[in-house]
Amino acid sequence: MADLDTVRAAKTALTEQLAHDNRVNGIGITGSNGDYGIKVNIVDAADAPELPTEIDGVPVKVVVIGRVRALS
C-alpha cells in the first residue's frame, strides 16, 4: 500500500508520459479504505495505449469511458 505522496508522484510521472496521447481522457487518483491507486480513463478498449499495471508500486486501473464531449 502506497502513501498518498507516493501516489501523487506516480500520477505526475504517468501524466507526463501520456500527456499527448489522444486515447487518454484523464488521469486521477482513486482510493478506498486508505488504499490509493491511479485511474486512467481511456476512449476505446480496442485502441488502448500500453499502460503499466503499476508505477512505482502504485496500482494503475484502466477504465473505458468513451469520448468526452461538452454538453450543449
Q: What is the pLDDT of residues 24-62, one digit of tens each?
A: 999 999 997 879 999 999 999 999 999 999 999 999 999
Decide: 45 and 12 in contact? Cβ < 8 Å: no
pLDDT value at residue 39: 96
Asked if the structure places residue 72 within a domain, the reply is: no
Domain span at residue 42?
4-64
Asked if the structure places residue 30 within a domain, the reply is: yes
Provide mean pLDDT across the span 4-26. Answer: 95
Asked if the structure places residue 70 within a domain, the reply is: no
Asked if the structure places residue 71 within a domain, the reply is: no
State how many domains the chain has. Answer: 1
Greater pLDDT, 5 or 1 = 5
pTM passes above 0.75 = yes
Query: 3-state SS of 8-64?
Result: HHHHHHHHHHHCCCCCEEEEEEEEECCEEEEEEEECCHHHCCCCCCEECCEEEEEEE
Asked if the structure places residue 17 within a domain, the reply is: yes
**Is the confidence at residue 1, as pLDDT, over 80?**
no
Asked if the structure places residue 19 within a domain, the reply is: yes
Q: Which of 66, 60, 63, 69 is nearest to 11 (CA)?
A: 60
